[in-house]
Amino acid sequence: MFTNVLNEVTGRLDSRFILTLFFPSLLFWGGLTVVFAADKGLVTLLTQWRAQDIGVQLMQIIIALAWVTFFAYLLSNQIVWLTKQFEGYWEWMPLLGKRLAETRQKHYQRVLAGIDPAVDFERIYYTFPFPNEPEEVMPTRLGNIMKNSERYSYQRYDMDAVLLWPRLYSVLPESFMKTLDGAKASLDFMLVISSLSALFAFIASIYLLAMQSAWWLFLLCFLGGLVVARLAYKSALEAAITYGQLIKSAFDLYKGELRKQLGYEQPKSLAEERIFWRSLYELVYRGEAGDPEALRYLGVKETQPAPSPQPARPWLIRWLQSLFGQGSTS
Amino acid sequence: MRWLDWQRWLLTLVVLALSLGGAFYLYSLEQPVTTLYVPEADLPAYHLIAATDLMTTTLPTAVLASKSPLQETGLVGRYTIQPLTAEKPVAAAQLVPVVDEKYVPDTTAVAIPATAAMVYNGQLASGAIVTVWTVTDTEQAKPLLGEVLVLDVQKVAGQSDTEEKAFPYIVVLAVPRPKQAELLTAVATGSLMLTLTP
């Protein structure tokens, strides 16, 4: 019966959930437990735990795993919010958030302005919004990488990525979707590691200071946690570049499929296409296309109007006309 | 032209300052500690300390008495002359002075009333080795117990004048267990004397 329960439970746990969220959560809570035990006396606590009844030990392990799973599940629901914080959407923070965001944005705007496109366009292509949109620059490097991929479709095709991405995602082939999801999972994993490491550093160091513990343990937890957080963030930047390139590729390769699925004709030129996507955006977002003519439905042919029926002529007129070759005898 | 990200450098400096500051604060709180053996539970007076009675603990060196026995070998096989408190360091004054270990095994503490002469008018002290003599019916003194460790000599308090004159002292001896009954019989029936064993 236990095997059935285990199969049922693990069946519901996606492998991505286990790798991206469960393991980092387990490491986080395990680390905090070790810090607490090290302060109290690891050997003493272990001896006391071992002295307990085996049933009690098992129950404690199950409760611990259940808590970690629950924590990982809560984390999974906050991934979007977490990513937004790493991207620099800090306006929700009172006082400090907006000011800090503006300061960092100004810094990266200066950096972008200082890049010579002729020499280092690759840096712009992968990691910054385009130079003609300085207002799109974000307060963090991750934010700029993600903004770069977000603005690409608009720059190239006048496609609003935010509005059209959910629709485009639905027409992607499964193989491409898998690759995309894999890249997103890598990014999520690194961001989770980074945030949990930083959180561990702060919680552990505050606890050790309050308990007046060993100075070396404090240094190890505080500095060690922050170093891991930093390294994980740098890895997240690389993962974000890969993910961003896949998003751009998705627009390049499958925008036609999206157009077809929406039931529209293919535009004949890039200029027409840009008008098409702009009009579609207006239709979808506001309910009214700016240029309805740009949105031509697939398979609709233009036909000649049917001739209006002529009134019947008297037999004498018809006979005379047939003698002299005019019109038909009907 | 690369812009100096002064905010990132400032954050790095703040983090370094916090970590070094916290470490220095904790380091300054640390005191030198000593690991030593202490009783695991309360021990009564005149108890022969065994290894199982002890546990290790770590205490700041400053709070330790200057003459505390720190090694297990300094405690095991010694008699207490005062009750010991659990998990507290043991002072040398709470134990019988170190003697040859041959006087200790398989012994038990027996208290006998003693005259001033038996205790050399108060000069007999803990740690001395004595011979216990008994005076028989024929008024012949013969040795009852040889080479017995004196655990403690106490002046009796709170007794009546009559008793105080006869036996003003209590001597606690480490008596071999087989000889315990013999000694107690001699205490009840006869008179005893103690002589120091050279």
pLDDT in tens, B128-162: 999 998 886 666 788 888 889 999 999 887 655 55
Tell me, yes or no, if the pTM score tops 0.95.
no
Q: What is the pLDDT of residues A112-136, one digit of tens each?
A: 998 888 888 888 889 999 888 889 9
Mark yes or no for CB contact A107/B3 under 8 Å: yes
User: A-contacting residues of B 85-124, CB under 8 Å?
Assistant: none
Mark yes or no for CB contact A218/B15 under 8 Å: no
| B61 and B45 in a common domain | yes
| B46 and B106 in a common domain | no
What is the percent of chain A with per-residue pLDDT over 90, rounded to a whole number?
Answer: 56
CB contacts of B19 in chain A (<8 Å) are: 218-219, 222-223
CB contacts of B2 in chain A (<8 Å) are: 111, 114
**Model ipTM?**
0.70
| B136 and B66 in a common domain | no
Mark yes or no for CB contact B23/A219 under 8 Å: yes
The domain total for chain B is 2
Mark yes or no for CB contact A208/B30 under 8 Å: no
Domain ends where: B54, B76, B94? B94
3-state DSSP assignment of residue A59:
helix
| B187 and B106 in a common domain | yes
Q: Is residue B62 part of a domain?
A: yes
Q: What is the pLDDT of residues A33-77, one digit of tens each?
A: 999 888 777 777 888 888 888 999 999 999 999 999 999 999 999
| B129 and B81 in a common domain | no
Mark yes or no for CB contact A222/B19 under 8 Å: yes
Q: Residues of A80-119 as b/e, b for ≥16 C-beta within 10 angstroms?
A: eeebebbbbbbeeeeeebeeebeebbebbbebbeebeeee
Q: Which pLDDT belongs to residue A2?
A: 44
| B187 and B122 in a common domain | yes
CB contacts of A209 in chain B (<8 Å) are: 22, 25-26
Q: Is residue B112 part of a domain?
A: yes
Which domain covers residue B87, as residue numbers? 33-94
What is the percent of chain B with per-residue pLDDT over 90, rounded to a whole number?
Answer: 30
Please state the rounded mean pLDDT for residues B76-104. Answer: 87
Instruction: Grade residue A94 by pLDDT with cuts at 50, 70 and 90.
Output: confident
| B127 and B63 in a common domain | no
CB B3 within 8 A of CB A110: yes
Q: Is residue B3 part of a domain?
A: no
| B87 and B114 in a common domain | no
Interface check for B29 against chain A (CB to CB < 8 A): the answer is yes
What distance in Å separates the CA atoms of residue B122 and residue B160, rounded to the nearest whole number?
19
Q: Is residue B179 part of a domain?
A: yes
Q: Is residue B121 part of a domain?
A: yes
CB A224 within 8 A of CB A27: no
* Closest residue in chain B to residue A115, using alpha carbons only: B1
| B105 and B90 in a common domain | no
Instruction: Grade residue B7 by pLDDT with cuts at 50, 70 and 90.
Output: confident
Cα dihedral A142, A115, A108, A230 sign? positive
Compute chain A's Rg from CA coordinates: 32
Point out the least confidently predicted range of A240-249, B108-117, B129-138.
B129-138
Q: Is residue B167 part of a domain?
A: yes
Domain ends where: B48, B64, B94? B94
Q: What distance, in Å, lies between the first and last C-alpha atoms of chain A?
A: 90
Q: Is residue B160 part of a domain?
A: yes
What distance in Å separates the CA atoms of residue A213 and residue A40, rounded to the nearest whole number?
9
Q: Is residue B28 part of a domain?
A: no
Amino acid, single-letter form, for residue A92: W
What distance in Å separates the CA atoms of residue A55 and residue A62, rounded to the nearest whole number?
11
| B172 and B114 in a common domain | yes
Residues of A near B (Cβ–Cβ under 8 Å) read 103-104, 107, 110-111, 114, 205, 208-209, 212-216, 218-219, 222-223, 226
CATH code of B80's domain: 3.90.1210
Spatial CA neighbour of A287 closest among A168, A163, A114:
A163
Domain ends where: B55, B75, B94? B94
Interface check for B24 against chain A (CB to CB < 8 A): the answer is yes
What distance in Å separates the CA atoms of residue B58 and residue A43, rounded to the nearest whole number?
14
| B174 and B111 in a common domain | yes
| B67 and B44 in a common domain | yes
Q: Which pLDDT belongs to residue A317?
A: 73
- Both tokens of A246, joined, read 């896949």
